[in-house]
Structure 1
Amino acid sequence: MEKSLEASRFRLGACYYPEQWPEEMWEEDLKRMKKMNFSIIRIAEFAWSVFEPREGEYRFELFDKVLDLAHQYGIEVILGTPTATPPAWLTAKYPEVLNVSQQRVSYQHGQRRHYNYNSPVYRELSAKITRKMAEHYKNHPAVVGWQIDNELNCEINVFYSEADHKAFREWLQKKYGNLERLNEAWGAVFWNQTYSDWEQVHLTRPTVSDSPNPHQALDEKRFISYSAISFAQLQADILRIAAPRHWVTTNGIFGHLDSHSLTESCLDFISYDSYPNFSTIYPDKGEEPLLDRKWSLNLSVARDISPNFCVMEQQSGPGGWVNKMEMPSPKPGQMRLWTYQSIAHGADMILFFRWRTAVFGTEIYWHGINDYHNEPNRRVMEAAGIGRELAEVGDRIVGTRYQADIAIIRDYDNEWDGELDKWHGQMQGKSVSAWFKALQYHHIPADVIYLRDQADCSHLNKYKVLVYPHPAILFDATAQVLKDYVRRGGTVIFGCRSGYKNKDGHCLRMRMPGYAAELCGITVEDFTLIGPNEQAPTVIMTAQAGTRELKGEAFNDILRVESAAAEVLAVYQDTYYAGKPALVRNKYGEGTAYYFGAAFELTAAASLIEELGIVSPIEGHMELPKPVELSIRKHPGTGESFIFLLNYSGHEQTVRFNTEFIDLLKNCKLHGDVKMEPYGVYVIQ
Structure 2
Amino acid sequence: MKKQISDKQITLGVCYYPEHWPEELWDDDYRRMKEMGFSIVRMGEFAWSIFEPEEGRFSFELFDRAVDAAHRHGLQVILGTPTATPPAWLTHRYPEVLNVSKHGVVYRHGLRRHNNYSSPVYRELCARITRRMAEHYHAHPAVVGWQIDNELNCESNVFYSDADHTAFREWAQRKYGTLERLNHAWGTVFWSQTYTDWEQVYLPRPNPADDTPNPHQALDEKRFISDITISFAKVQADILREAAPRQWITTNGLFGHIDNHRMTEQLLDFISYDSYPTFGTIYPDGGTRPLLDRKWSLNLSNVRSISRNFCIMEQQSGAGGWVNRMELAMPRPGQMRLWTYQSIAHGADSVVYFRWRTATVGTEIYWHGLNDYSNRPNRRTREAARIGEELARIGSSLVGKKNRAEAAILQSYDNAWDGELDIWHGPLTGRSVIEWFKAFQYRHIPVDMLNLSGYTTLAELQRYKLLVYPHPAVLTDEHAELLKRYTHAGGTVVFGCRTGYKDSNGHCRLGQPLPGPVADLVGITVEDFTKISGIIPAPSLRWTEGGTDLGDIHAELFNDILTVQSSSVEVVAAYASDYYEGEPALTRNAYGEGAAWYFGAAFSEPVAAEIIRRSGLQSPLAPLCELPEQVELAIREDERQAAAFLLNYGSSAAELRFKSPVKDWLSGAVLEGDYSLEPYGVIVLDLDSLDL
- Asked if TM exceeds 0.5, the reply is yes
Is 2:205 aligned against 1:205?
yes
The residue identity in structure 2 corresponding to 1:110 is G
SS state of the match for residue 312, structure 2? strand
Alpha-carbon separation, structure 2, partners of 1:543 and 1:215: 43
* 2:515 aligns with one of 513, 516, 523: 513
Q: State the distance in 1 between where 2:19 and 2:140 align.
A: 19
Aligned amino acid, residue 106 of structure 1: V
Aligned to 1:534: 536
Query: Counterpart of 1:589 in structure 2: which amino acid?
Result: G
1:633 match? 636
For residues 179-194 of structure 1, the aligned pairs below 5 Å read: 179-194=179-194
How many angstroms apart in 1 are the aligned matches of 2:452 and 2:540?
32
- What letter matches 1:568 in structure 2? V
Equivalence map 1:122-161=2 (5 Å):
122-161=122-161
Q: Does 1:66 align with 2:66?
A: yes
2:625 corresponds in structure 1 to 622
**Which of 588, 591, 597 matches 2:591?**
588
Correspondence for 1:373: 374
Instruction: Summarize the Cα distance change of 1:394–1:307 in structure 2 as closer, same or farther, 3 Å threshold.
Output: same
- Superposed CA deviations along residues 341-367 of structure 1, whole A, max 9, x for unmatched, are 000000000100000000000000000
Q: CA deviation at 1:533?
A: 1.6
Is residue 196 of structure 1 aligned with residue 196 of structure 2? yes
Deviation at 1:5, TM superposition (A): 4.4
3-state SS in 1 of match to 2:458 = coil
- Is 1:245 the counterpart of 2:246? The answer is yes
Q: Which residue does 2:314 correspond to in 1?
A: 313
The offset of 1:620, in angstroms, is 2.2
1:551 equivalent among 554, 560, 564 = 554
CA distance, structure 2, for counterparts of residue 406 and residue 347 of structure 1 = 20
Q: Does 1:604 align with 2:607?
A: yes
Structure 1 residues 543 and 296: CA distance shift in structure 2, 3 A: farther
Q: Deviations over 1:220-273 (max 9, x none)?
A: 000000011000000000000000010000001011010001101110000011
Distance 1:196 1:126, change over 3 A: same
Partner in structure 1 of residue 431 of structure 2 = 430
Quick one: which amino acid aligns to residue 184 of structure 2? E
Distance in 1 of aligned mates of 2:265 and 2:665: 35
Which residue of structure 2 lines up, in the alignment, with residue 56 of structure 1? 56
What amino acid does structure 2 have at the position aligned with 1:198? W
Q: Secondary structure at the match of 1:386?
A: helix
Match of residue 220 from structure 1: 221
1:673 deviates by 0.8
Structure-2-length-normalised TM-score: 0.98
- Deviation of 1:473 after TM superposition, in Å, equals 0.3
Deviations 1:389-431 (A, max 9, x none): 0010011100111100000001100000000000000100000
Deviations 1:504-538 (A, max 9, x none): 00000111100010111011000001122222101
Given candidates 522, 525, 548, the residue that maps to 1:523 is 525
Structure 1 residue aligned with 2:101: 101
State the distance in 1 between where 2:194 and 2:5 align.
48
Q: Tell me the alpha carbon deviations over residues 425-457 of structure 1, each in whole angstroms, 9 at most, x when there is no partner.
A: 010000000000011000100000010022221
Aligned to 1:492: 493
Moved more, 342-351 or 659-668: 659-668
Specify the alignment match of 2:286 in structure 1. Answer: 285
Distance 1:484 1:271, change over 3 A: same
CA contact 1:408–1:448 (8 Å) conserved in 2: yes
Cα deviation, 1:193-231, whole Å, max 9, x if unaligned, reads: 000011111000111122100000000000000011000
AA aligned opposite 1:186: W
Secondary structure, in 3 states, of the residue corresponding to 1:208?
Answer: coil
Q: Distance in 1 between matches of 2:554 and 2:263?
A: 39
Could you tell me whether the CA contact under 8 Å between 2:277 and 2:296 is conserved in 1? yes
Aligned residues: 683
- 1:474-489 equivalence runs, <5 A: 474-489=475-490
Map Cα deviations across residues 362-400 of structure 1 (whole Å, 9 max, x no partner).
000000000011001110100011100001001110011
Instruction: Note the 1:650-661 alignment, pairs <5 A.
Output: 650-661=651-662
Return the offset for 1:3. 8.1
SS at match of 2:232: helix
AA partner of residue 115 (structure 1) = N
Whether the 8 Å CA contact 1:78–1:146 is kept in 2: the answer is: yes
Q: 1:661 Cα deviation (Å)?
A: 1.3
Residue 416 of structure 2 aligns to a residue in which SS? helix
> Does the CA-based 8 Å contact 2:2-2:269 persist in structure 1?
no
**Offset from partner CA, 1:73-113 (integer Å, 9 cap, x none):** 11000000000000000000000000000001100000000
Relative to structure 1, the CA distance from residue 272 to residue 595 in structure 2 (aligned partners, 3 Å threshold; closer, same or farther) is: same
Q: Give the secondary structure class of the aligned counterpart of 1:422.
A: coil
Query: Which whole-Å deviations, capped at 9, do the CAs of 1:18-72 have from their partners, x for residues lacking one?
Result: 0000000001100000111100000000000100000000000000001111111
Aligned-partner Cα distance in 2 for 1:273–1:643: 24
> Structure 1 counterpart of 2:383, which letter?
E
* CA distance in 1 between partners of 2:401 and 2:549 (Å): 42
Cα distance in 1, alignment partners of residues 541 and 454 from structure 2: 35
**Partner AA of 1:641 in structure 2:** A
Change (3 A) 1:49 1:543: farther
Gaps of 5+ in 1: none
Contact kept in structure 1, 2:4 and 2:248, CA below 8 Å: no
Is there any run of 5+ residues in structure 2 with no aligned partner, and where?
687-692
CA RMSD of aligned residues (A): 1.1
User: What is the CA-CA distance between 1:610 and the residue it aligns to?
Assistant: 1.3
Corresponding position: 1:19 with 2:41 = no
Choose from 570, 575, 580 the match for 2:573.
570
CA deviation after TM superposition for structure 1 residue 589, in Å: 0.8
Amino acid in the other structure paired with 1:181 = R
Q: Which whole-Å CA distance do the structure 1 matches of 2:423 and 2:625 have between them?
A: 43
Once residues 402 and 671 of structure 2 are traced to their aligned partners in structure 1, the CA distance between those partners, rounded to angstroms, is 24
- Residue deviations 1:455-514 (CA, integer Å, cap 9, x gap): 221101010000000000000000000000001000000000000000000000111100
Alpha-carbon contact 1:345-1:631 (below 8 Å) kept: yes
User: For residue 136 of structure 2, what is the amino acid of its counterpart?
Assistant: H
What letter matches 1:194 in structure 2? T
State the AA in 2 paired with 1:217: A
Secondary structure of 2:302's aligned partner: helix
3-state SS of paired residue (2:502): coil
Q: What is the DSSP-based 3-state SS (H/G/I as helix, E as strand, rest coil) of the residue aligned with 1:82?
A: coil
* Cα distance in 2 between the residues matched to 1:449 and 1:2: 21
Shift, 1:666, TM fit: 1.3
CA contact (8 A) 1:3 1:306 kept: no
Measure the CA separation in 1 of the matches of 2:7 and 2:347.
12
Shift of 1:541: 1.6
SS at match of 2:461: coil
Partners of 1:63 and 1:10 lie apart in 2 by 26
- AA in 2 matched with 1:576: Y
Deviation of 1:4 after TM superposition, in Å, equals 6.4
Secondary structure of 1:525's match?
strand
The whole-number CA distance in structure 2 between the counterparts of 1:417 and 1:236 is 29
Following superposition, the deviation at residue 339 of structure 1 comes to 0.1
CA distance in structure 2 between the partners assigned to 1:546 and 1:212 by the alignment = 45
Shift of 1:542: 3.1
Matches of 2:440 and 2:95 in 1, distance apart? 50
Q: Which amino acid aligns with 1:542?
A: T
Task: Using the TM superposition, give the Cα deviation of residue 567 of structure 1 relative to its aligned residue in structure 2, in angstroms.
Answer: 1.4
Contact residue 548 and residue 610 of structure 2 kept, 8 A? no
Residue 579 of structure 1 pairs with residue 598 of structure 2: no
